[in-house]
Amino acid sequence: QVQLVESGGGLVQPGGSLRLSCAASGSIVSINVMGWYRQAPGKERELVATITSGGTGTYADSVKGRFTISREAAAKNTVYLQMNSLKPEDTAVYYCGYRNWYKNFVEKWGQGTLVTVSS
């Protein structure tokens, strides 16, 4: 079993920044993908950014140039999402996800953390 613990959400003004963290523990495979997804009210959950255990990141077009995903250098089981130049449309519940690299679906979800961008 894999456990994911997220932190870092909150209220921020447009143009501001937040950093989300996701700590994974348990039966983590060495080759994996962790990422951030978000779900706004009335919308489907969407991918924001992912990063492999080797450090390769991918981003949704809507966040490219504003968000940066990274993994802790030492343990590599903690993933961060640095969000800059936040917009009201970034408001959503953000979920951390984990999967084995060889699988094409998220195996474990975090509990979610709310990010609200509003003046």
Burial (CB count within 10 angstroms: exposed 0-12, middle 13-18, buried 19+), residue 23: middle
Report the chain (119 residues): mean pLDDT per 10 consecutive residues.
94 98 92 96 96 94 97 82 98 97 93 97
β-strand 78-83 against 108-109: which pairing, if any? unpaired
Per the DSSP assignment, residues forming a β-bridge with 62 are none
Tokens 């990063």 belong to which residue? 51
**What's residue 72's pLDDT?**
82
**What's residue 73's pLDDT?**
67
74: phi then psi, degrees, rounded to nearest 5: -75, -70
